[in-house]
A = this chain, B = another copy of it.
């Protein structure tokens, strides 16, 4: 997908890398991120060893395909933080969830990576996570998001919604699930409804 402009790479190695990425993108789109790596190598007309040379782990392959998109979504968070309308966070979460649901199993990979910065994929996830948390905190200061939620929780919920909807084509359903969560994030009475049986 992303044009790989890595310098200092032998011509054939570069061509193989690009072929692998194209083949992986197609395989992931069809069968999800746990698609057979053997098939990926075969489709790319490349030995399986070449695949492992370029991408030692499956996560490295995933990272190579989605990092650019993750950075884009992270940059969007920073940009939206300068806007003042009430639905900034909702719109950003929509973008995030749409992206995470692009490959089946991607949300699971994100959860597994945790944000472990020692891996390429985990590092990319963490950059996104940081930018998202910053946006959430700004909304909390503006008063559009209740202050008793942890910014991490918001991102985890978005990821969970991506997981629940990543093998459906029903984009409306994804929106509905997200809408419930966004409304739940609205600034409300800080009182615990469990402790206060009387509705306002």
Give A contacts to B, CB under 8 Å: 85-87, 90, 108, 111, 149-150, 153, 156-157, 159-161, 163-164, 173, 176-177, 179-186, 188, 193-194, 197, 199
Contact = CB atoms under 8 A, between A and B. Distances in A.
Contacts of A156: 164, 177
Given A179-B184, A180-B185, A183-B188, 19 more contacts: A85-B197, A86-B197, A87-B194, A87-B197, A90-B193, A149-B176, A157-B164, A157-B181, A160-B160, A160-B161, A160-B164, A160-B177, A180-B184, A181-B184, A182-B184, A183-B183, A183-B186, A183-B193, A184-B185
Contacts of A182: 184, 193
A199 B86 contact: yes
Contacts of A86: 193, 197, 199
B157 A180 contact: yes
A110 B161 CA distance: 15
Contacts of A163: 160, 163-164
Contacts of A184: 179-185
Main secondary structure of the interface of A (DSSP, over half): helix
A5 to B, nearest CB: 36
A141 to B, nearest CB: 16
A188 B111 CA distance: 32
Contacts of A111: 164
A159 B164 contact: yes
B194 A90 contact: yes
Contacts of A150: 176
Contacts of A153: 173, 176-177, 180
Which of A157, A161, A180 is most buried by chain B, counting CB atoms within 10 A of its CB? A180
A147 to B, nearest CB: 13
A164 to B, nearest CB: 4
